[in-house]
Amino acid sequence: MTPVTQAGEAARTDTNGAVLPPLRIGRHVIESPVVLAPMAGITNRAFRRLCREYGNEGRAIGGASGATSLYVSEMITSRALVERTPESMRLIEHDPDENPRSIQLYSVDPATARAAARMLVSEDRADHIDLNFGCPVPKVTRKGGGSALPWKKDLFKAIVGAVVEEGAKRDIPVTVKMRKGIDDVHLTYLDAGLTAEAEGVAAVALHGRTAAQAYSGTADWSAIRMLKETVTSIPVLGNGDIWSAEDAVRMVRETGCDGVVVGRGCLGRPWLFTDLAAAFAGTSARVTPTLGEVSETLRKHTAYLCDFYGEEDRACRDIRKHIAWYLKGFPAGSTIRNSLALVDSMAALDRLLATLDPDLPWPGEAAEGQRGRAGSSRTVALPDRWLESRELSEEHRRTIAEAELSVSGG
């Protein structure tokens, strides 16, 4: 792909003064201070490979070399990992050239979290572990997990401490990703950030929304700034409403954060990592692909999924959800869009892509902005009487035990 426009300025000379130095996550130095957010059903090995290729291109444009961004796996349930379910073992696979190998764990139980971390560390399956305390999905929060969990301060501390302790055995840094809290009345991010810092995590990332907001409304970047001012000894990363490299630079300028976490902004747009790497290297070069170039990327993504699953039909089912994101803003027509959303083979995909006009230019504003569903705010599903205390009651200990089998490492 050669869709780069505008000759960049000299590397690391952004006139806005917003270019950041490399991001340090424990022993790892990430040249471009950008993290691919873990997204369920999205950030598998195939998509990470695609994003990594574009990130490398961005560093080349900026005149630098070395590791680009940090590309995190989709969320892995600790219990499933300890039980070595086939799907969890597939999800922790990495390409030979992925470095650092980054895995996100989800758990509501310190013993299970410790056992999962011990497995990753002792079997040399990861170079970095991220802990999920940000998921707002009802089936997760209803069990006291994700963004509901930091409300229970002792439980949060125990899980973080257990995983950090296991990671330290082989110098594997641990990070925490979280939200502001359950809702605007029950905020947890400042005390959770301080607890994580005290427990020895290498960085904390904050999505500037509450669980009640899900993905609706506007991310509160002032909370990211407040966390940065509160947690001072480790990097603080900002997440939420980064749809372009310019948004990332603006977040850094407004919050003082040490790096950014990008999720929905790269859906159907993996070349955003080219833009981000170039921007943080101090250039103004940006990617503006033609429809033909977008089609090539979509096909490459599907081929990578074939390699990941080892099954062409499963890869084609997976790529269907990406079609609307890739074609956003292009005048492709409903018939071709609907047909692509039903594609069942690489041959069928090739036939359909061949009907698109490859010379159609990047549609500009129509393809920019929000990607993925925003939804609306809601009441957060929680265990009964979860909000009555910041400490874990015996009743809630039983709830946690039922939600996730407690496993001790051998």
Annotated catalytic residues are 135
Farthest CA pair distance, the chain: 64
Q: Residue 256 — left, alpha, or beta (φ > 0 → left; ψ -120 to 50 → alpha)?
A: left
Q: Could you tell me if 128 and 366 are in contact, meaning their C-beta atoms sit under 8 angstroms apart?
A: no
With helix as H, strand as E and coil as C, how does the chain read?
CCCEECCCCCCCCCCCCCCCCCEEECCEEECCCEEECCCCCCCCHHHHHHHHHHHHHHHHHHCCCCCCCEEEEEEEEHHHHHCCCHHHHHHCCCCCCCCCCEEEEECCCHHHHHHHHHHHHHCCCCCEEEEEECCCCHHHHCCCCHHHHHHCHHHHHHHHHHHHHHHHCCCCCEEEEEECECCCCCECHHHHHHHHHHHCCCEEEEECCCCCCCCCCCCCHHHHHHHHHHCCCCCEEEECCCCCHHHHHHHHHHHCCCEEEECHHHCCCCCHHHHHHHHHCCCCCEECCCHHHHHHHHHHHHHHHHHHHCCHHHHHHHHHHHHHHHHCCCCCCHHHHHHHCCCCCHHHHHHHHCCCCCCCCCCHHHHCCCCCCCCCCCCCCCCCCHHHCCCCCHHHHHHHHHHCCCCCCC
